[in-house]
Amino acid sequence: MRVRTRLVIVAVLLAAACLVPLLCQPYYTKLVVRMAIFALAAMSLDLVVGYAGLVSFGHAAFFGLGCYAAGVLPMVGVQNAPVVFGVAALSAALIGLVTGAISLRASGLYFIFITLAFAQMVFYVAQGMRPLSGDDGFRLPAPTTLGSLRLTDPNVLLYLTVGMLALAAWVSYRLMRSNFGQVVQAARDNPMKLAAVGLPAYPYRLALYTYACALAGIAGAAYANLTEFVAPNTMSWVVSGELLFMVILGTAGTLFGGIIGAVVFVGLEQILSSYTEYWLFPLGVILVLRVLLVRR
């Protein structure tokens, strides 16, 4: 699928999302918000998987950190959206910088296991935080606000999330087409040749990894306002697997594939779960067929 075709598809999806509150019931508005949130998270993972060529199995940790930022800040009287999303992005980026500095010294299977190990560490720390109800989680103390608007209102959250997704997609697209992005992709394709011309891959990969973690944190903060609940399960390896599923389903290394994959995944989840509690099985079959029969 050509880049122009993908752009048209994503533009149509974003435009359709903006019309949902005007034409559909609140349930469908929340469903579209969920799609947009996971599209942002999946797109951030695609930067690491598709462009850097590094399969991360711990991306949910940064998504969960964003959730906790949106849940903890209202406890100290901070509800302003720019501050909440800024702290969510910064906290995820800082943890991503520290863990990425270690993880990126490995590659392949070792990188997968190290990212999974770090994510499980973050998960168990959140699970053991008794003041925040540990494994049980806690209700969002107060919604994030944008002026007089509350982000727990599905209509407000939809337009904000779609706007953030469009902005993040544009910034990421430009970033990957810049000299920085070309170096990252060269490191993915042939790191030895890149080193031979005097460009070390490590700092470029670390910068991209940190940026991707920040985007995941922003998605997590939006998710906390959607569910109005914060719990450690947002950091579990299961969520990391679902995000990776979305990236593969939509085609890694395209940015827009993560968006399309998230829309398809969440849509199929809603449809299949209404027929059977074992809805993950047919999704698994779809993923296997996707990998075996479709290009890339």
Q: Give pLDDT tens digits for 44-80.
A: 999 999 898 899 999 999 999 999 999 999 998 899 9
Closest CA to 55 of 2, 95, 114, 129: 114
95-125 pLDDT tens trace: 999 999 999 998 888 999 999 999 999 999 9
Q: What is the pLDDT of residue 8?
A: 75
pLDDT at site 295: 67
**CA–CA gap between residue 89 and residue 224 (Å, rounded):** 14
Burial of 245 (0-12, 13-18, 19+ CB in 10 A): buried
Rounded CA gap, 162 and 169, in Å? Answer: 10
Which residue, chain included where needed, has tokens 């953030």?
164
pLDDT at 262: 92
The stretches in the chain having pLDDT less than 50 are none
What is d(CA 62, CA 84) in angstroms, rounded to the nearest whole number?
Answer: 15
Whether 263 contacts 35, CB under 8 Å: yes
Q: Are strands 229-230 and 145-146 parallel, antiparallel or unpaired?
A: unpaired
Q: From CA 181, how far away is CA 186, in angstroms rounded?
A: 9
What pLDDT is stored for residue 104 in this prediction? 92
Q: Which CATH architecture has domain 3-293?
A: Orthogonal Bundle (1.10)
